[in-house]
Amino acid sequence: MWLLTGIWHGANWTFILWGLFYFVLLVIERQTAIKPGHVLTFLAAMTSWVIFRSPTVSGGLGFLASMLGLSSNALYDGGAIMYIKGSWSVIAFGVIGMFPMMRNFFERHSVIESLWLCLVFVISSLEIISSSYNPFIYFNF
């Protein structure tokens, strides 16, 4: 089914590879005792997004190599610093919200958790709206 999902997204090998990637992950999860946690799920999602967004398979593999520090490119540059500075509030809310003590606090105070999530949503939306870059990839089809 994931192969068909990849084909549906476009006639490019990267989309087919993206679908096969998810297929393999699901087979591994269902046929073994390996149950991915938050970190593995996050890494798998990031990897799949790189594959999906890349114009070519070799370009995607090169980008993944750069992300892992396996290429001659620097791990970060002026552009990365610019994005971090521009998104500091979203990053700060994400870092604060990931701590277990916040999870325990939110379990006891569901109203505050709802307000927190609404605040994060509003701040994230404002960050997106204020950005001049719009990476909506479906305009490429």
Q: For residue 76, how many C-alpha atoms fall within 13 Å in the half-sphere facing its CB? A: 6
Strand boundaries in the chain, DSSP class E? none
Q: Which two tokens stand for residue 100?
A: 């277990």
Q: Is 9 a catalytic residue?
A: yes
Count other Cβ atoms within 10 Å, centred on residue 16: 20
Q: Which amino acid is at 96?
A: I
Task: Write down the catalytic residue from 3, 9, 47, 124.
Answer: 9
- Active site (catalytic) residues: 9
